[in-house]
Amino acid sequence: MSIEVRVPTLGESVTEATVATWFKKPGDAVAVDEMLCELETDKVTVEVPSPAAGVMGEIVAAEGETVGVDALLATIAAGEGAAPAPAAPAAEAPAAAPAASGGSVDVMVPTLGESVTEATVSTWFKQVGDSVAQDEMLCELETDKVSVEVPAPAAGVLAEITAPEGTTVDATAKLAVISGSATGAAPAPAAAAAAPAAANTGKDVANAPSAEKAMAEAGLSADQVTGTGRDGRIMKEDVAKAVAAAAAPAPAATPAPAAQAPRAPVAAEDASREERVRMTRLRQTIAKRLKDAQNTAAILTTYNEVDMTEVMALRNQYKDQFEKKHGVRLGFMSFFTKACCHALKEVPEVNAEIDGNDIVYKNFVHMGVAAGTPQGLVVPVIRDADSMSFAAIEKAIAEKGKRARDGKLSMAEMQGGTFTISNGGVYGSLMSSPILNPPQSGILGMHKIQDRPMVINGEIKIRPMMYLALSYDHRIVDGKGAVTFLVRVKEALEDPRRLLMDL
């Protein structure tokens, strides 16, 4: 039986890749999940594992070829014919030897997701010498977007930790080694040890074809480029970095003093009472993205206030029935999400983004809901919120919020948002100016509901009021559009029947 090996999903907005390296040849034995080849996109390098055990058949896409998503890469002949073959690849591919022999298994960094190339080892749950079961959690990695748990690929004993806590590792790094109890395990380490020794004596690794082409065009030799790929392989992005470093050494050195500005002196009596804690990768990314948003977009904020009387009355009237029927509490977020989706239809530029010299209008609403977690701010995305019911929105917000607090959100759940709602009111904020979440062009800030005296039909009455703030990118959204959007949100909340009548 022949099994097809196809190009996996490459990530958002990535439609093609270049076959950089094949680790197997036709006729080689392969195990399940053993690495077959490496694909290179314009953002990340993607490794393609074997979908089944068997013998490598035909390689359809050779090294250097450009392939699209789901394109056929190769075929594998599944069956028992793979048994005698592992001896040959053991000398060529040391990484395959331990898995084939059953002696030791390398614990590698799992797929980190689109545009994520490195992670920091935050916590080891096991120590050297501990017994581990298959799929038991070994450690936790922290990226600039999410935390990733690393399970044990096999049962055995944790023999070595190669990346201790605090170490920054790339997407292809080895984290640890698990030794098994199989009787044939003894010769495997010797073979594995011999191969790296040979590898260290000289670089016997082919560079990525796209890198070779880029070096030829730039007039660089392999000695002038530092490779970051597997076994020191030079990738296309390595050449780009080398070219950039050679072309602009002076500008790169000029801003360095500002970035490394020394900290102001601290009084001796205060120094002993300070505590220095390294920023997490998530916090570093939040800081960078927020600053980038301020530097890139022309951010302006407009304000309004909304009388929450009708929404609160409607919620109080139906909240018990709503929870009984749908199994989730009726909150304010579903009303605001519905109101924003309603307003975005009338002012579509608030739901658009700038791409170079083009404006990309989104004919759908993927609503980002900012959530504060112990690790920092994250923005899970509720997809197609404009077509969801109140109950579906409340369920999605509750589920995403729990996953955010538990650090279980995947990168896919935080990508693709077209507009964001941030509720600072849950912390008691009365008014604020939210910062855009690039590349989005608008973000609505909700705030604390506070009783205030208002003039209603010539009479002073106490009403539950909330300030609303819309921050928008003035490059794409004019003042008229921003004010119109906020007024439509206000109207929908002060008279929720407008949502039902689509007014």
Q: In 29-173, at which residue ranges do the beta strands (DSSP E only) sit?
A: 29-30, 35-40, 45-49, 54-59, 66-68, 72-78, 104-108, 118-124, 131-132, 137-142, 147-151, 156-161, 168-170
- What does the radius of gyration of the chain's CA atoms come to, in whole angstroms? 28
Helix pair 333-346, 390-405: axis angle to 10 deg: 110
Distance, CA of 411 to CA of 115 (rounded, Å): 10
Contact between 463 and 454 under an 8 Å Cβ cutoff? The reply is yes
Of 170, 478, 495, 502, the active-site residue reads 478
Contact between 38 and 20 under an 8 Å Cβ cutoff? The reply is yes
Q: For residue 82, what are the contacts with CB-CB under 8 A and spacing of at least 6? A: 29, 30, 31, 53, 54, 55
SS3 state at 265: coil
Q: Which of 51, 63, 64 is nearest to 23 (CA)?
A: 63
User: Where on the phi/psi map is residue 232: left (φ > 0), alpha (ψ -120 to 50), or beta?
Assistant: left
What is the number of other CB atoms lying within 10 angstroms of the CB of residue 406?
11
326 included as an active-site residue: no
Distance, CA of 91 to CA of 198 (rounded, Å): 10
What Å distances lie between residue 119 and 116, 171, 415, 499, CA to CA?
Answer: 8, 8, 19, 45
Distance, CA of 365 to CA of 386 (rounded, Å): 6
Residues in the chain: 503
Burial 255-267 (b: 16+ CB within 10 A, else e): eeeeeeeeeeeee
Of 42, 170, 474, 495, the active-site residue reads 474
Which residue stretches of 162-280 are H helix?
187-201, 209-218, 236-247, 249-253, 256-259, 268-271
Write the DSSP symbol of residue 20.
Answer: E
SS3 state at 29: strand
Task: Give the containing element (helix H, strand E) for 100.
Answer: helix 96-101
204 included as an active-site residue: no
Q: Which residues participate in catalysis according to the annotation?
A: 474, 478
